[in-house]
Amino acid sequence: MKLGMVGLGRMGANMAERLLRGGHEVVGFDPNADARKALEANGAGSADSLQALVKALPLPRVVWLMVPSGKITDDTVDALLSLLAPGDTVIDGGNSNYKDSMRRAKLYADKGLHYVDCGTSGGVWGLKEGYSMMIGGDEQAVEALRPIFETLAPGKNQGWGRVGPVGSGHFTKMVHNGIEYGLMQAYAEGFSILQHKQEFGLDLHQIGEIWRTGSVVRSWLLDLTTDALGKNPTMAGIAPYVVDSGEGRWTVDEAVALNVPAPVITLSLIERLRSRDTESFSDKLLAAMRNEFGGHEIKTEPK
Amino acid sequence: MKLGMVGLGRMGANMAERLLRGGHEVVGFDPNADARKALEANGAGSADSLQALVKALPLPRVVWLMVPSGKITDDTVDALLSLLAPGDTVIDGGNSNYKDSMRRAKLYADKGLHYVDCGTSGGVWGLKEGYSMMIGGDEQAVEALRPIFETLAPGKNQGWGRVGPVGSGHFTKMVHNGIEYGLMQAYAEGFSILQHKQEFGLDLHQIGEIWRTGSVVRSWLLDLTTDALGKNPTMAGIAPYVVDSGEGRWTVDEAVALNVPAPVITLSLIERLRSRDTESFSDKLLAAMRNEFGGHEIKTEPK
Amino acid sequence: MKLGMVGLGRMGANMAERLLRGGHEVVGFDPNADARKALEANGAGSADSLQALVKALPLPRVVWLMVPSGKITDDTVDALLSLLAPGDTVIDGGNSNYKDSMRRAKLYADKGLHYVDCGTSGGVWGLKEGYSMMIGGDEQAVEALRPIFETLAPGKNQGWGRVGPVGSGHFTKMVHNGIEYGLMQAYAEGFSILQHKQEFGLDLHQIGEIWRTGSVVRSWLLDLTTDALGKNPTMAGIAPYVVDSGEGRWTVDEAVALNVPAPVITLSLIERLRSRDTESFSDKLLAAMRNEFGGHEIKTEPK
Amino acid sequence: MKLGMVGLGRMGANMAERLLRGGHEVVGFDPNADARKALEANGAGSADSLQALVKALPLPRVVWLMVPSGKITDDTVDALLSLLAPGDTVIDGGNSNYKDSMRRAKLYADKGLHYVDCGTSGGVWGLKEGYSMMIGGDEQAVEALRPIFETLAPGKNQGWGRVGPVGSGHFTKMVHNGIEYGLMQAYAEGFSILQHKQEFGLDLHQIGEIWRTGSVVRSWLLDLTTDALGKNPTMAGIAPYVVDSGEGRWTVDEAVALNVPAPVITLSLIERLRSRDTESFSDKLLAAMRNEFGGHEIKTEPK
């Protein structure tokens, strides 16, 4: 198939390349000229505007969005809505909030266009190993895109599927990321306990290697964690500063909205907030309280 | 009554003073001579050894321990065991682990001595406002000490009581402190949220004052927190470093041992650990993991 | 002063009565005729419609809303907006989301009306003990209402205050309730640990009584908890089912939005969700997982 | 090699079988005669007492314990201590507390015997896929057992290793299980959120299948979870009752002792306690408190 790829950052460029390798035709658009050139070097066409991209595609057009969630996605979705024609399809492969995807899909449906939300997992490894894709949208619209999904996925019938109507793809990906937060935090805590047990002089990289095969905790994240421990066993030079990127927060919101207790996923998010709260007002106030009732000494800050 | 007070630190000295004001006779012992002199200045007797203290007391003797939990308490309890006579009573008013108190009481009972464990709350305010006391021990032994408890307590029949057999006093105080951790953390988090809502320019001290009267969250800890916010609204110069002192840990252990879910008390302890873990290995590893799977940038540490 | 009270449920009726006792004139409206009659019996006027209420008030009018948050507040605010005149003031004393209050205040300001958001704490005890009130709004508008606040509050200058611009009143009340969740959960966990320590045969009511005076954990909530334990020491007949009412959820959302770690307040909310999740899918799945990897027995459900 | 296997339950029998398949000689002991017969049917020898087992083994003897942790392990270790001779080796392959292993190893060392602690992961799948083994003990003692570990492990040099001195094997396995609790809870919470989003009609088994390939959350536990969801998508007939087995509790204790914040592992344990606390006293008390301060209705229990 021939499709347009909007957004040629790390994820978009890799996906375009995997599609090209799979025999598809790709026309890419990105405001960054270097990104476009890099794509052309891989044998794809490129366009320097959404208008040009749309013109370069055969009817019915297929446009894959791989842009940051939020305003950029909103602007792009709006622009394409006025450029595309009935029967065309937009796939949002980014990390949009599922409610936004449902709202956008309605605008598209009102004009006879298809809107498909595809939660995409796999990170920088997707180019080589394939992307896990959770897809929401009309059955027909999704079915028509089958050749694309089969190429992007780890295997023809593996690692991808239509999970329900529009919104369900990003919803499922959101929960996927919530789980990811929990898994990561569990490993991080465990390795931290091992690291603090100094009397045993444990080699964390070795333990990761042992666990990778045969143990109950083996996983792809453990493989990566073990690799990271191999490269930098003491995490030297790395700040204890953990970013979060939206899906974790949405999962927490959604769990509460659905009355589902999700303490571990929620705490995993809170721990990330905590990692960035280096001058915790809470903790200062706790120290002050202890001083008030018990006369306990307060540790003062270095000037 | 006449009693010996072992340990003339902040708590012991204050309790001795409250007893003196209440018409009791006190003989104090502390290895620190200044502490003994300060007590004498309040009209008490003093002894420069446990032996001297024991000699200075009438039969049956009453000795109140107000020393740090752990080894010092153990050593003092052991020494007194060989110095005292059947019918004498030792009260451990400190923060001992209830299992230690049960073990020590058994040694005392085997020799015909009484052992009473008294969980004492009230901090530096106890001198003025009285001490809340949760007492474990034989009914007779506790009853014989009634005049002491009535004087130390906030009111004759208020704020103290025998809650059960030996061990139950320190057990109840341990849980008291676990609750205290939870209450403190709840206030700290709430004020921290208020503090971060910069668009409203909230005055945390004023809000504390409002809440002190009539609100559902009014409490003595809120009074103290409000006072602390009045003195230092931004917590300037205070390090976000929160000490914990044993009872919180024991409460967590005990909750698990009893199969009682206590997530909030437990998290309150963990947050204190976290406040002191400024170079979190967990968080560094999380940052490294994110880099491994998603190519996400790692924040580096300042050299 | 003379004011209109909209909503004569438990809270509204009590507040009207406290105002009447304080020498104010009140005209009440509620769709429920019995509620209106009860108010009249206390010496107030009543109106059977918002229109009638507005007509019965002198200029500039003051209308206090004490209705459930959400749609009913929205409808009432909308209706009053078209009935009132520039210079009139509406006070929302309910548990509205602060963002809604800010939105509503803007509509009012556009028409020259005042909108004041007043977070009100004190529950059923407010009639007797006064209400703690956190107030947001223009300084002048709030100042003009001073006689009302002085009467409703626990003391003339106690337990109330303007904390900032519109929205800040409900924001502060929201955080108040978040703290309340945390405090309640801490007490509940602590008493549960005591209750499970069967070997000591502890009397929870007695322990509550001891703690009420002099202890670090003394508070109004502890007073109420102790009363509840006095009436029903085993909590016989009470289902372990805990309702939450919006402010806790909003506090959790807001903490995340502000990047403030609030683990204890958050867990307190999650525990309430958990109390209602009696057929936990998570837990069933965990049991199934244990069976899958370890062959561990699954407990089956009674048919 | 020839070794004795003490304990022919699910784990011990499977390990014996894997050793036999790998060309080793095994003599098994279990008080249960059926278990012994089943082993004999696989070509192993058997002994009806520890004495007989010891007699059946060549010098230096190697005895692998695969019995429940706690008293049974203690009794067996004590019995073997008096039956074995200097140079002999006992390997504890069960889930003993690492402190017990250190204590036992000291008794053995005092008599010139070797004691090796081997944390074993893999569950019922180990027979087929091999066991992940984290081993603590003297280097020489472990090295002498290499043929056994190479056979039991998933691969000759995969999934096993000496991680440090005696105790470190069980310590590492303990942390492994703590992580396992966290991972399981994260998946359970995520699938529960998906299950509650009824508007999307999600097929949890399908989503598990998608995630198994290419996604960031792929893991062996996800494979098993997906299989469980395939067999029983609604978890019908399974009670929401989750057992814990010691290592989780020890991990929580150890984290606190080492001052390592481990909120997610800790909460995962607490959630298991919570699953079995169907008549939560905490929650009843919370409902009673809400009634006390707000007059909120209490849900009563069915008689």
**Nearest residue of B to residue C129 by CA position?**
B214
Amino acid A45: pLDDT = 96
Question: Which pLDDT score is estimated for B302?
Answer: 67
Number of domains in chain C: 2
My answer on whether omega of the bond before C60 falls inside 30° of 0, hence cis, is: yes
Cis amide bond preceding D147, omega within 30: no
Quote the tokens at residue C214. 């002099």
Nearest of D145, D101, D31, C297 to residue D8 by alpha carbon = D31
pLDDT at C295: 87
CA distances from B123 to A295, B297, C187, D53 (A): 7, 48, 20, 62
Do B136 and B195 lie in one domain? The reply is no
| Three-state secondary structure call for residue D62 | strand
Please confirm, yes or no, whether C303 is among the known catalytic residues.
Answer: no
CB distance from C241 to chain A under 8 Å?
no
Contacting residues of C for A276, CB less than 8 Å apart: 259
What is the pairing mode between strands C132-136 and C114-121? antiparallel
Model confidence over D285-297: pLDDT tens digits? 999 999 999 888 8
Residue D231 has pLDDT above 90, yes or no: yes
Which residue in the block uniquely carries the two structure tokens 């990390």?
A95
Establish, for the pair of chains B and C, how many residue pairs have beta carbons separated by less than 8 Å.
282
Enumerate the active-site residues of D: 173, 180
Mean pLDDT of the B93-101 span: 97
Residue B284: pLDDT band with limits 50, 70, 90: very high
Average pLDDT over residues B293-300: 89
D82 contacts D107 by C-beta, under 8 angstroms: no
In whole angstroms, give the CA distance from residue C210 to residue C196.
19
Chain D: closest CA distance from residue C108 (Å) = 31
pLDDT tens profile C189-223: 999 999 999 999 999 999 999 999 999 999 999 99
Average of per-residue pLDDT across D54-65: 98
SS3 per-residue string spanning chain B: CEEEEECCCHHHHHHHHHHHHCCCEEEEECCCHHHHHHHHHCCCEEECCHHHHHHCCCCCCEEEECCCCCHHHHHHHHHHHHHCCCCCEEEECCCCCHHHHHHHHHHHHHCCCEEEEEEEECHHHHHHHCCEEEEECCHHHHHHCHHHHHHHCCECCECEEEEECCCHHHHHHHHHHHHHHHHHHHHHHHHHHHHHCHHHCCCHHHHHHHHHCCCCCCEHHHHHHHHHHHHCCCCCCECCCCCCCCHHHHHHHHHHHCCCCCHHHHHHHHHHHHHCCCCCHHHHHHHHHHHHHHCCCCCECCC
Phi, psi of A69 (to 5 degrees): -65, 160
Among D100, D133, D165, residue at a domain's last position: D165
Active site residue C189: no
* pLDDT for position A43: 92
Proportion of chain D above pLDDT 90, given as a percent: 96
Chain A residues whose CB is inside 8 A of the C267 CB are: 263, 266-267
pLDDT digits (tens, 9 = 90+) for A193-211: 999 999 999 999 999 999 9
Helix (H, G, I), strand (E, B) or coil at D302: coil
The answer to whether residues B281 and D262 touch, using CB atoms and an 8 Å cutoff, is: no
CATH for A272: 1.10.1040.10
Provide φ and ψ at D49, rounded to 5°. Answer: -160, 165
- Domain final residue, candidates D139, D165, D191: D165
Residue B248 to residue B178: CA distance in whole angstroms? 5
Token representation of residue D243: 């057992």
| Nearest chain A Cα distance for residue B110, angstroms | 36
Report yes or no on A102 lying in a domain: yes
Q: How many CA atoms lie within 13 A of A1 on its CB side?
A: 22
Instruction: Specify which residues C160 forms β-bridges with.
Output: C133
Query: In this predicted structure, what is the pLDDT of residue B295?
Result: 87
What confidence tens digit (pLDDT) does each residue in B186-230 have?
A: 999 999 999 999 999 999 999 999 999 999 999 999 999 999 999
Token readout for D109 is 């060392």
My answer on whether B57 and B177 are in the same domain is no
Q: Is residue C285 one of the residues assigned to a domain? A: no
Sign of CA dihedral C142, C145, C150, C151: negative
Is D245 contained in some domain? yes
- Is A124 found in the same domain as A81? yes
Across chain B, mean pLDDT equals 96
pTM for this model (two decimals):
0.96
Cβ pair A285:B235 closer than 8 A: yes
Maximum CA pair distance of chain B? Answer: 77
D81 - beta bridge partners? none
Is C116 found in the same domain as C249?
A: no
To the nearest whole percent, how much of chain B has pLDDT over 90? Answer: 96
* CATH number for A88: 3.40.50.720
Model confidence pLDDT, tens digit, residues A52-110: 999 999 999 999 999 999 999 999 999 999 999 999 999 999 999 999 999 999 999 99
Mean pLDDT of A170-174: 98
Nearest alpha carbon to residue C103 among C111, C115, C85, C118: C115
A23 φ, ψ (degrees, to nearest 5): 95, 5
Residue D185's contacts (CB-CB under 8 Å, 6 or more residues apart) are A182, A263, A264, C282, C286, D264, D267, D268, D271
Inform me whether the C-beta atom of residue C205 falls under 8 Å from chain D C-beta atoms.
no
Peptide bond into B60 cis (omega under 30): yes
Whether B286 is in a domain gets the answer no
Q: Are residues A91 and A148 in the same domain?
A: yes
Name the percent of chain A lying above pLDDT 70.
Answer: 99
**Are B152 and B107 members of one domain?**
yes
In degrees and rounded to multiples of 5, residue B91 shows phi and psi of: -110, 125
User: Would strands B2-6 and B62-65 be described as parallel, antiparallel, or unpaired?
Assistant: parallel
Which range of residues forms the domain containing residue D249? 173-277
Same domain, D8 and D141: yes
- CA-to-CA distance for D84 and D89, rounded, in angstroms? 8
**Cα distance between residue D79 and residue A16, in whole Å:** 67
pLDDT of residue C303 exceeding 60: no
For residue B294, what pLDDT band results from cuts at 50, 70 and 90?
confident
Per the listing, tokens 């003093």 go with: B46
Cα D204 from Cα B30, distance rounded (Å): 68
The residues near D132 (Cβ < 8 Å, ≥ 6 apart) are A210, A211, A213, A214, A215, A216, A218, D120, D121, D122, D153, D154, D159, D160
pLDDT given for residue C302 in this prediction: 67
pLDDT in the model for residue B106: 98
Half-sphere exposure of D203 (CA within 13 A, CB side): 14
Whole-angstrom distance, CA of residue A30 vs CA of residue A76: 11
Query: Best interface-test mutation with C: which of D181, D205, D242, D271 has the largest number of C CBs within 10 A?
Result: D242
pLDDT at B278: 92
Is there a single domain that holds both residue C11 and residue C51?
A: yes
Asked whether residue D300 is domain-assigned, the answer is no
For A85, other C-beta atoms within 10 Å of its C-beta total: 12
**Residue given tokens 């059960």 in the structure block:** B164
Q: Which backbone phi and psi does D40 adopt, to 5 degrees?
A: -60, -40
pLDDT tens digits, one per residue of B145-169: 999 999 999 999 999 999 999 999 9
With a cut of 70, say whether residue A135 has pLDDT above it: yes
**Tokens linked to B54:** 């024991």
Range with the lowest mean pLDDT among B122-126, D130-134, D262-266? Answer: B122-126
**D145 and D185, same domain (yes or no):** no
Q: What confidence tens digit (pLDDT) does each residue in A290-299 have?
A: 999 988 889 9
Question: How many contiguous H segments (helices) and E segments (strands) does chain C have?
Answer: 14, 8
Residue where a domain terminates, one of C135, C165, C195: C165
Residue C84 identity: L
- Looking at residue D238, what is its pLDDT? 96
- Of residues A35, A23, A220, A43, the one with CA closest to residue A126: A220
Residue D294's pLDDT is 86
**Chain D hits for C281, Cβ within 8 Å:** 188, 191-192, 195-196, 235, 240
Does residue A289 fall inside a structural domain?
Answer: no
Instruction: Output the CA–CA distances (angstroms, integers) from residue D159 to A212, A213, D145, D162, in the order listed.
Output: 7, 5, 15, 11
Say if residue D58 is in the same domain as residue D153.
yes
Q: In the Cβ-directed half-sphere of D182, how many Cα atoms lie within 13 Å?
A: 32
**Six token digits for residue A293:** 């009732």
- b/e D143-159 (16+ beta carbons within 10 angstroms → b): ebbeebbebbbbeeebb
**Residue A303: predicted pLDDT:** 58
> Percentage of chain D surpassing pLDDT 70?
99
Sheet holding D160-164, edge to edge: D45-47, D25-29, D2-6, D62-65, D89-92, D114-121, D132-136, D160-164
| C contacts of A261 (beta carbons < 8 Å) | 270-271, 273-274, 277, 280, 282
Per-residue pLDDT of A32-53, as tens digits, reads 999 999 999 999 999 999 999 9
| Residue the block writes with tokens 């964690």 | A225
Task: Identify which of C302, C13, D214, D39 has the alpha carbon closest to the alpha carbon of residue A154.
Answer: D214
Residues C23 and C148 in one domain: yes
- The reply to whether omega before D60 is within 30° of 0 (cis) is yes
Claim to verify: residue A100 and residue A76 sit in the same structural domain: yes
Mean pLDDT, rounded, of chain C:
96
What does the pLDDT read at residue B101?
98
| C114 DSSP β-pair partners | C89
Question: Cβ D270–B259 below 8 Å, yes or no?
Answer: no
Pick B273's closest partner by Cβ from D259, D273, D277. Answer: D259
Token digits of residue D185: 């809870």
Residue type, D292: E
Q: Name the amino acid, one letter, at D258.
A: L
Q: Quickly count: other Cβ atoms within 10 Å of residue C249's Cβ.
A: 21
Q: How confident is the model at residue C294 (pLDDT cuts 50, 70, 90)?
A: confident
From the list B262, B273, B293, the residue facing D261 with the nearest CB is: B273
The Cα–Cα gap between B290 and A241 comes to 11
- On whether any CB of chain D is under 8 Å from the CB of A259, the answer is yes
- From the list C220, C259, C268, the residue facing B219 with the nearest CB is C220
Tokens of residue B99, six digits: 């299992």
**Cβ neighbours of residue D301 under 8 Å, at least 6 residues apart?**
C237, C238, C239
In a domain, A302, yes or no: no
User: How remote is the C-alpha of C192 from its chain's centroid?
Assistant: 25
Residues 6 or more apart whose Cβ sits within 8 Å of residue C1: C24, C25, C62, C145, C147, C148
Q: Is the pLDDT of residue C263 over 80?
A: yes
Q: Residue C301 — pLDDT band, cuts 50, 70, 90?
A: confident
H or E segment at A273? helix A263-276
Rounded distance, CA A94 to CA A109, Å? 20
Q: What is the mean pLDDT of residues C43-52?
A: 96
Structural tokens at position B237: 């110069």
